[in-house]
A = this chain, B = another copy of it.
Amino acid sequence: MTTPRPGSRAEQRRRTEARILDAAAQAFLTAGYERTTIRAVASAAGVDAGLVMHYFGSKQELFRRVIDAAPVPEMSGPPEQAAEQILAALAIRLESEPAASLTLLRSMLTNPEAASAASAGIARYEAQIAEAIPAGDADLRAAIISAITLGISVSRHLIKADELATADPAQVISLLRPCMRSLAASPGHGGPS
């Protein structure tokens, strides 16, 4: 069996490891990579610092394990509705940004290793968007869309001292709809002018 009875050594370890990962995610999210100490993570997980090292090898490795859990937003469906899909994904992020994504975002600005990991994720996301945009400059349009999404997320969830932090998601989405339509529009079906 891969699921031994609770209380067993293997199960206990799995639980402890999960607790450490949770505490680490929380710490990296709120404090960023540099300000997060192994001792603090260990303490939050109710565990000794040495154990964290024993299980994860190093702080960098622990960090990598945390951001490995960051999901890449999925785009699917007909290209005509690209704008609406992007808006829908953004709406979800307005309600509650996945902690891992924000962790990544915050840490990539201070931690070189996080930067490359995050860049990869962002690139994947942009590629998905670009695929859904029927235009010669689809890549740039996708990058702009991604940048806007990023800016909105950062303003709302990280900076916080902002009108956006408390705004009604639906209102934000409706204000951004023309934006996204003009960026994701097929040439000829796009905005005015």
Contact = CB atoms under 8 A, between A and B. Distances in A.
Contacts of A161: 115-116, 119, 122-123
B143 A164 contact: yes
B183 A137 contact: no
Q: How many of chain A's residues touch chain B, expressed as a range?
A: 35 or more
A7 interface: no
Interface in A171-193: 171-172, 175-176, 178-179, 182-183, 190-193
A137 to B, nearest CB: 7
A156 B147 CA distance: 9
Interface in A132-159: 137, 139-144, 146-152, 154-156, 158-159
A52 interface: no
Interface string A105-127: 11011100001101100110010
B151 A35 contact: no
Given A143-B163, A192-B192, A32 B110 contact: yes
28 contacts: A32-B110, A108-B159, A109-B154, A115-B159, A119-B162, A122-B161, A123-B161, A123-B162, A126-B163, A141-B175, A143-B162, A143-B163, A143-B167, A146-B162, A147-B151, A147-B154, A147-B162, A147-B164, A148-B179, A151-B151, A151-B154, A175-B182, A178-B183, A178-B190, A178-B193, A179-B182, A179-B183, A192-B192
